[in-house]
Amino acid sequence: MDYSLSRFLYTLLGLFIVMNWGMLMSSTMRRIIARVSGRIGIPWYQPWIDLIKLYSLRSQITHGTMFYLGPVFRLMGGVGLFLFMPMIYGSAYFMNYSFSGDLILILYFQFFGMLGMALGAGEGGQPYSAIGISRGLSQFTTIEVPMTLAVISLAIQYDTLSITEIVKAQQGSIANWTLFTNPFATIAAMLSLLGAFGHSPFNLVKAPNEIPIGPPTEYHGTFLGVLRTNGAILHVTEAALFMNLFFGGATSWLELILKTFFIYFWSVFVGVVFPRFRIEQSVRWFLKWPTLIGIISILIWM
C-alpha cells in the first residue's frame, strides 16, 4: 500500500479512537459530577445514543449560511488540532502530520473554532448572542496570555517549537518531564487549561441556569451533532497537547488514555468545587496569577 494512503488511513483510525475515547470520557465525567451531587448520572453509552439521534434529525429552520457554518468551523478547529498533533511518540503512523514548528499552528487552531462559532452566533438573530460572543472571546483571549507565556518559556528551554522534539527531550525518566524541569510554565499552562475546557468557574458562554441560550438550544439536529462530535475530539486533543508539552507525551494508546483522563479530570474537579465567575472576575483572574507565573517561568530561563 502506498505510504501516503497508509498514513491517511492510520490518521483516520486515530481520529476514530480519539472521538470515541472523548465521548466515553465525557460520560464518565458527567457520572462523576452526578455522584458528587448525589445523583446516579447518565449511562456510559448515552453520548453515542445522543449522537445517533442528532444526526438523524433535519432542521426546517434557516438562519443564514454563516449560522450553520459555525459548527463546521468549530469541528474543523478540533480536527485540525488533531491532524497536526503527534499523538503517540515513536509511532510511524500516529504522529499524524506534525512538523517542525507545529506548536504555533496548533495554537492558531485552538482559536479557529471559537472565531467560527462567534461568526455563526452573530447571524442567528438571538439578542443574547452578543453576550455569549463577548464573553467567549474576552475570556479566551485572556486564556491565551498565560498559555502563550508558558509556550515561550518552553521554546527557550528546549530551543524548539516542535512538539515532537519537546516530547523527545522529556524521555528517559519522569524527572525529565517539563512538570519537574519547568514547574512555573506547567502551573501557568494548567491554570489556563481550566478556561480552555470551559468548566466552572469559567463556563461563561453557556452560563447554565443563567440564560436559556447557547449552542445546545440555538443549534439543533445535525448541527448540534457536529458540535457534540467536535467536543469529543477537542477535549482529548487539548488534553493531549498538555500531555505532550508538560507530562512526557505518550508511547502507547493506553498511556495516552490514562494521562488525558487525569488532565481532563483536573478541570472537572475544579468545576465541582468552585462556583462560576462573572466575566470581569474571569478576565481579571487570568491576567493576574497565571500571567504572573508565566512571566516568572520566562525570566527563569532567560
**pLDDT tens for residues 236-250?**
999 999 999 999 999
Nine cell digits for residue 219:
443549534
**pLDDT tens for residues 116-135?**
777 777 777 677 777 777 78
Q: What is the pLDDT of residue 216?
A: 59
Q: What is the pLDDT of residue 214?
A: 56
102: pLDDT strictly greater than 90: no
Provide the pLDDT confidence category of residue 205 given band limits of 50, 70 and 90.
confident
Across 139-166, average pLDDT: 92
Q: What is the pLDDT of residue 20?
A: 96
209: pLDDT strictly greater than 60: no
What's the distance, Cα to Cα, between the start and end of the chain in Å?
Answer: 48
Give Cβ neighbours of residue 8 (< 8 Å, ≥ 6 apart).
none
Q: What is the pLDDT of residue 200?
A: 82
By the 8 A CB rule, do 87 and 268 touch?
no
Domain of residue 59 covers 3-301
The one-letter code for the residue type at 268 is V
Q: Which residues of 125-147 are buried (b: 16+ CB within 10 A; e: fewer)?
A: ebeebebbbebbbbbbebbbbbb
Cα gap 180→178, rounded to integer Å = 5
Across 168-188, average pLDDT: 94
Range with lowest mean pLDDT among 22-26, 63-67, 107-111: 63-67
Q: What is the pLDDT of residue 28?
A: 92
63: pLDDT strictly greater than 90: no
Cα gap 249→239, rounded to integer Å = 11
Q: What is the pLDDT of residue 250?
A: 95
Q: Structurally, how many domains does the chain consist of?
A: 1
Which residue, among 32, 290, 71, has the nearest Cα to 185 in the 3D structure? 290
DSSP letters of 62-95? ---HHHHHHHHHHHHHHHHHHHTS--STT-SSTT
Q: Can you give the pTM of this predicted structure?
A: 0.91
